[in-house]
Structure 1
Amino acid sequence: MGGGTNLAKALESLKQTFPDTLSKQTLLIIVSDAQTLEGEKAAALLDLIHRHVREVLWLNTLPKRRWQETPYVKAFLPFCQMYECYTLSHLTQILNQQF
């Protein structure tokens, strides 16, 4: 509690707990500001997972202008489609674009 987000642990747990759900039919949606502990490990796990799923859609809750302040955004971008998403309008636009 209060130690920060650890996306690496979340991705590791997803991979171990639900391995059969990570298939080429899977659309993995991540809602996060990308501010995480163990960012390098999280990027490596995201790379591994993105190879097994149809697509990784990342809804970043930070304004895009602030992404450069977040050390691991650049590390995650090769493995997902990342969108600024902190309003219902953003979400509607993304969903209309994706589906």
Structure 2
Amino acid sequence: MLRGGLSETKPATPEIQKIVDEVKPQFEEKTKEKYDSLKVIEYRRQTVAGNMYYVKVHLGGDQYAHLKIYEPLPQTNKPIELSDYQTCKTKEDDITYF
């Protein structure tokens, strides 16, 4: 992985699911929708003064979304933040920069 570039696509982990669970209320507020769960399918990571995660989540049925989540460095004492998102995704869509 190049410095600042996206990592290879990796399968879901409990740690990434926990991060997504933390930003679920932010996602629901921005989309004005309620979801039973946001199930992580896969993700990519970018190191940028913390970590930027690009995460594919299953919303239910045939609905998927890509979330862009910023995790600041621990010493900043700042919360994890949903930076951006893309809806209307499919299970086959690759995770890319957005």
TM-score tier, shorter chain, comes to under 0.3
| Higher RCO structure, 1 or 2 (CA under 8 Å, sep 6+) | 1
Could you say which structure has the higher strand fraction? Answer: 2
TM-score normalised to structure 1 length:
0.26
